[in-house]
Amino acid sequence: MELTLDYALASAVFLVGLTVFLSITLSQLSYLTLQYSSYCPVKAYIYPVKFKIEASSKGKYIVETLDGRVVHVYVVVLNSSSWRIYEGATPLEVPAGPGDWIIALSHMGYGVKRGTGLKKTVIVTIRGVVSDPSPKLKPYVVIRGSSYTVCPEEKVVTAGGSETKYSEALVEKYKVAERRIAAVEDYFMLEVGYRG
């Protein structure tokens, strides 16, 4: 009887010790797995919505998303002397001349059809042309002559911290590992993590 009691007590102590050891080991193992599995050496910060702008008929252009989704869009048509703003759901048809700039903006993306060069710097937001050099509404487009910049800019960040302007060619050799929303310059962008 005494041996049975000793055996039961020793077994209980052994099982408690084994349980504690395994739970600590598994928690550390899952922590390490989680830490290294979410590591992505290359990250891109991009807009989740991109618009294409194509001529549909004489004097009209159609604005739609690249992937065919229906989203709310603000379209600014401008030239050297005036600008007009249109609002609606994609696909949206707007009147514009062949030399006009057409800027399509939503809260999560952009699209630009270049026009003839402008003599002054123009800043375009979802509310139209503004004079503030750093508008709070993002994204916005800055037009200088015949070139433009979208702010905040899409970029690729490597593990070393170097930043490069985003292009499909930079990330095409990698595989997408994760996607999430991240804050960039007080604006939400899509963060795409890539692995080699």
Asked, for residue 43, whether it belongs to a domain, the answer is no
Average pLDDT on 13-37 reads 69
Question: Percent of the chain beyond pLDDT 90?
Answer: 53
Task: Give me the half-sphere count of Cα atoms (radius 13 Å) on the Cβ side of residue 69.
Answer: 12
Same domain, 5 and 86: no
Asked, for residue 99, whether it belongs to a domain, the answer is yes
Same domain, 144 and 128: yes
Same domain, 64 and 143: yes
Average pLDDT on 39-62 reads 91
Same domain, 13 and 87: no
Quick: pLDDT tens for 86-133. Answer: 999 999 999 999 999 999 999 899 999 999 999 999 999 999 999 888
Same domain, 13 and 57: no
Q: Would you say residue 34 has pLDDT above 50?
A: no
4-13, 33-42, 160-169, 171-180: which range is least confident on average?
33-42
Q: Cα(122)–Cα(153) distance, rounded to whole angstroms?
A: 17
Asked, for residue 44, whether it belongs to a domain, the answer is no
Q: Give the mean pLDDT of the chain.
A: 87
Same domain, 131 and 177: no
Range of the domain at 32: 1-37
